[in-house]
Chains A and B, each alone.
Chain A
Amino acid sequence: MAGWLFVVSLVVALVVVYRPFGDYMFRVVTYQKSNVLERGVYRAVGVDPAVEQTWGVYARSVLAFSAVSILFLYGLLRFQDKLWLALGMDPVTTHIAWNTAVSFVTNTNWQAYSGESTLGHLVQMAGLAVQNFVSAAVGIAVAVALIRGFAANQAASKSATLGNFWVDLTRITVRILLPICLLATLIFMVGGMVQNLSGGTDVTTLTGATQHITGGPVASQEAIKELGTNGGGFYNVNSAHPFENPSAWTNWLEIFLIFLIPFSLPRVFGRMINQNRQGYAIAAVMAVLAIGSIALTVGLELHGAGTVPQAVGAAMEGKETRFGVPNSATFAAATTLTSTGAVDSFHDSYTSLGGMMPMVNMMLGEVAPGGTGSGLYGLLILAMITVFVAGLMVGRTPEYLGKKIGAREIKLASLYFLVTPALVLGGTAAAFATGNNGTALNTGPHGLSEVLYAFTSAANNNGSAFGGITVNTPWWDIATGLAMLLGRFLPLILVLALAGSLARQRPAPESEGTLPTHQPLFVGMVVGVTVVLVALTFLPALALGPLAEGLS
C-alpha cells in the first residue's frame, strides 16, 4: 500500500509542476533578454546571439561541440594522474577512456569502470559532471529546434532557420539546469550526501577491522545526474550507495528530478505551437505508457516469482533495506522510461519478468517520457508515424499540426525509428557471433538477457545494466561505445533534418478531413503504434531471454 502511495505522490507532484515549470522553460527557450552571465558566455565563445541557424548549421554546431567534448574528456581521463585530486589513481586505459568519454557526451553514462577505484575527484567534477549538464542541454536544444520546425510559419524558403544552438545551449544550462541543481544539491546535502574533496577516511570498526570511508563532491554531481537524465554514478553502485541516496525521501526526490524536465517539455511544445491541448495529448501518451510500466514493474516485483525470490520470500536480492521492493521497482522503471540509467537496486537480480520491464521501457525508445529533450523528439516522431498510418487507412495525405507528412518526412521518421533496433539486435548478434557473450555472469536465458540488456541500454543512451556481465574488455568497450555514439547522433541528425524540412513548409489550414491530434482517440493510437512497433521488433529477442526464463 505504501509502495503505491509512493507512485501516486510522484504523479501528483509532476502534475502540479507541469504548467508552471513548463511555462518557465517556454520563456527560457523563446528568446528574451540575455543576462550578464549569458552575454559573458557569448563573448567568450565568440558568437552573435542574434544570428539564426539553418538545420545544417545547427546540426554541425551540435556535432562540433560533441566532438570537442569527447576529445577533451578522453584527454582528462588519460592524463588524470598528472592533474589535481587524482587520489593516486592511474590513467584510465585507452578503451575504457574512449567508452567513458562517448558515454558521458551522449547522455548515456554507461559505466565500464568502477568510480571509487578508477577516477579522481577532478575528472568527476570537471569532466563527467560538465558533460552531465551540457549533454542534457543538447537534448533539450534539439527538441526545441524540432518544435520550431513545427511552429515555423514563414513563407516557403530554402533558408528556414531553427534558432541558434549556442544560445539554446547557454540559456538552457544557465537558466534551467543550473538553478535547479543549486537547490537540489543543497537539499541532498541536508539529506546526508557527502560533498568534500577528501580522499577518504580510514576508520577502525567496532570489531577492529579497517574500513575506508570514501569522500568526494557527490551531492553536486548527484543533482545533475538525475535532473539531466544522465545516470552516471559517482560510485560503482550508483544510487544504491548510501552516500548517493541516503534515505527514502532522497530516493523520492531523485525519481522526481528524473521525471521533472521530460514530463514538463510537452508544455513547452504546446506553448510554442500555440495549442496547449497538443501538449496535453503528448503528455497523456507519456503518462499512459509510464504509469502502465511502473505499475507492472512494481506489481511483478512484489509478486516475487521465480525460484530464488520464492526461496527468499521476497525479491530482496540487490535491494536496499531503506527503499524496499516497491520503491526500488519504481526507481527501476523511472530510470529506464527516461534515458537516465541510474539504479538504486540491481536489475540483474530482479524477477525474470520484473527485470524484463526495464528492457521493455528502453525498447519503447525511451519516450515515456524519455531523456531530457530526446524523449519529446522521439515521441513526436512516433506521433508523425501514427498520423501517417492513420492517413494510409483513410486514404488522405497525412498532416500533423498543419505540416504535411510527405515522402521526405516519413523517410526521415522511419530511419529515426530503425536506428536503435538495428544497433540493439545487430550488437547482440555480434556479441554472440564473436563469443563475447561469454563475459556474462549468469548462464542460460539470463546470460542472453545480460547481453541484450547491454546493447539495449547503450543504443538507447540509457546506461543502466544487468550488472553481472563484464564489459571492460576492449571488444565490449568499443562495441558499446559505437552503439552509444550512433544511437545518439544518427537520430539527432535525422531529427534536425526533419525540423529543417518542416520549417520550410507553409502550414496548411485545418480542414474537415484533418485528423484531430489532441483527442483521446489520437492518444490511444500513438500508444498503440508505439507498443505494436516495439513488440514486432523485439518480441523474438525477449522470448529467448527474460520470457524464456520467466515462463518456464
Chain B
Amino acid sequence: MRLPSWLAQHLAALRALLVFTVLLGLAYPLLFVGLGKVPGLSDKAGGSLLTVSDQTVGSSLIGQSFTDADGNPIPRYFQSRPSAAGDGYDPTSTSASNLGPESVVDTVSDDPDAASPSLLTQVCTRSLAVGKLEGVDGSRPYCTTAGVGAVLAVFYRDGFTGPVTRVVAVNQTGTPFVASYAGVPVEPAQPETDYRALGGVITPIRGTAPARPVVPADAVTASGSGLDPQISPAYANLQAPRIARERGVPLERVRELIAEHTTGRALGFLGEPGVDVLELNLALDGK
C-alpha cells in the first residue's frame, strides 16, 4: 500500500526530527556534560563554586548581597550593586528592573503594596544611602536632598502654553523640595492621584548637584542579570575607607586587595574593569 504523499511527507518529517533530537538534543549536550567532568574543566562546568573549609559559600561568577536580615548593609563587607533578582541576588528569579529612562513619577499611595517608586526615585534613594554609609556627598542631578526624584507636574492655562496655574511636587506628600515655581507656590502630592492624566506637564528639576556625582553609576543602578558579581573599581575605592575603619586594617592593605581582585579589560579593549565582590570579601575575611 502506498501512503498518500502528504502523510508520507509528515512521517519523513517526524523521523527526521527524531534523528536530530537524538543527535543534537542528547548526544551533543551530553558529550560536553561528560567533558565537563574532566579535571581542569570540572570547576567551571560545575559553576565556579567557591569553597571555604569544606563549605560552599557561593560562585565567583554569581554576586551576593552583603546585608543583614533587614536588608541593611553590613559595614565590614564591600557592598554589591543593587539587584532586581527576587529579593536581591536570587539566581532562581533573575531579572532586570526594566524601568525606562523617563520613569520619574512615583506611584504615591497610602497602601504600601500599591505604592511603587519610579526608577529616578530609586536612584536618588540609593545615592543618598551610599553617600551616608561612606560619609560622602550623595547628591545627584534631578534628586531632592531627601533622596526622591525632584519632579514637578506643571499645569499651564492652555495645556502646554500660557501662564502657569498650578504646580505639584508629584513624588512628595510632605513639604515640597521647592517652595515656588514660576511664581506659583508648589503643592505636595495627594496619594492615588495621576497628575499627568489631569493635564500636568511632568517637569524634572535639575538642581545644583554636580554632573559627576561622588557616588559612581554602578552603585545606584541595578544590573541586567540581578546577579552582577562585580562593582566598578571606583565604587570599590569609595568603600575602602569604611572597610579599613570597620576592620582595623590599614587603608593601603585594603586598596592592595582591591587591586588584586580587579579584572582589567581583556586584551586592553574588551569590556570594562571590574572587582569581584565575593572574592574580595573572602580575601578580607582571610579565607
Contact = CB atoms under 8 A, between A and B. Distances in A.
A247 B158 CA distance: 54
Nearest to A549: B102
Given A126-B25, A240-B223, A348 B13 contact: no
Interface in A107-139: 114, 116-117, 125-127, 129-130, 133-134
Contact of B224 (A196, A237, A243): A237
Contacts of A192: 44, 48, 61
Interface in B179-214: 196, 204, 206, 211-213
Interface in B117-135: 119-120, 123-124
Contacts of B232: 321
A446 B100 contact: yes
Interface string B1-28: 0000010011111111111110111101
Nearest to A309: B101
Contacts of A419: none
Contacts of B104: 307-308
Contact of A217 (B21, B29, B64, B225): B29
B95 interface: yes
A133 B57 contact: no
Given A134-B20, A186-B35, A189-B36, A61 B47 contact: no
Given A65-B13, A346-B224, A211 B98 contact: no
Interface stretch (A66-74, A142-150, A395-403): A66-74
A94 interface: no
Interface in B50-92: 55-59, 61-62, 64-68, 74, 77, 81, 85, 89-92
Interface in A442-475: 442-446, 449, 466-468
B103 interface: yes
B164 interface: no
B270 A64 contact: no
A310 interface: yes
Contact of B140 (A311, A348, A349): A311
Interface residues of B, number: 110
A413 B68 CA distance: 62
Nearest to B231: A321
Given A206-B281, A441-B99, A5 B24 contact: no
A318 B36 contact: no
Given A9-B269, A351-B101, A442-B100, A320 B223 contact: yes
A242 interface: yes
Interface string A339-350: 000011110111
B270 to A, nearest CB: 4
Contact of A213 (B13, B47, B97, B102): B47
Nearest to B229: A242
Contact of A308 (B120, B266, B285): B120
Nearest to A352: B101
B51 to A, nearest CB: 9
Contact of A321 (B97, B102, B140, B230): B230
B172 interface: no
B143 interface: yes
B165 interface: no
Interface in A304-325: 305-324
A209 interface: yes
A328 B218 CA distance: 14
Nearest to A343: B224
Given A219-B45, A317-B97, A196 B33 contact: yes
A29 interface: no
Interface string A200-230: 1101111101011111010111000000000
Nearest to B15: A45
Interface in B242-276: 263, 265-272, 274
Contacts of A9: 269
Contacts of A134: 17, 20, 24
Interface stretch (A248-256, A477-485, A496-504): A248-256
Interface centre among B13, B15, B97 (most CB of A within 10 A): B13
B168 interface: no
A170 B238 CA distance: 57
Contact of B12 (A64, A214, A307): A64
Q: Which interface class (under 10, 10 to 19, 20 to 34, 35 or more) fits A?
A: 35 or more
A310 B211 CA distance: 8
A102 interface: no
A302 B15 CA distance: 51
A508 interface: no
A306 B74 contact: no
Contacts of B120: 307-308, 311
A446 to B, nearest CB: 4
A153 B115 CA distance: 69
B138 interface: no
Contacts of B17: 65, 68-69, 72, 130, 134
A212 B103 contact: no
A194 interface: yes
Given A125-B29, A349-B100, A211 B94 contact: no
Nearest to B103: A442
A327 interface: yes
Contacts of A252: 270
Given A117-B93, A311-B142, A201 B45 contact: no
A252 B55 CA distance: 34
B32 A195 contact: yes
Nearest to B151: A307
A445 B100 CA distance: 10
What are the 10 closest A-B residue pairs judged by CB atoms, nearest first? A248-B271, A240-B224, A324-B272, A126-B25, A468-B98, A306-B101, A346-B96, A242-B61, A248-B270, A321-B230
Given A72-B17, A240-B225, A321-B218, 5 more contacts: A114-B94, A207-B68, A243-B62, A321-B232, A344-B224
Interface of B: 6, 9-21, 23-26, 28-30, 32-33, 35-36, 41, 44-49, 55-59, 61-62, 64-68, 74, 77, 81, 85, 89-105, 119-120, 123-124, 140-143, 149, 196, 204, 206, 211-213, 216-218, 220-232, 263, 265-272, 274, 278, 281-282, 285
10 contacts: A45-B12, A46-B12, A65-B17, A203-B59, A206-B282, A220-B32, A221-B29, A240-B224, A313-B216, A315-B101
Interface of A: 1-2, 5-6, 9, 41, 44-47, 60-61, 64-65, 67-69, 72, 114, 116-117, 125-127, 129-130, 133-134, 166, 169-170, 173, 178, 181-182, 185-186, 189-198, 200-201, 203-207, 209, 211-215, 217, 219-221, 235-237, 240-243, 246-249, 251-252, 305-324, 327-328, 343-346, 348-352, 355, 441-446, 449, 466-468, 549
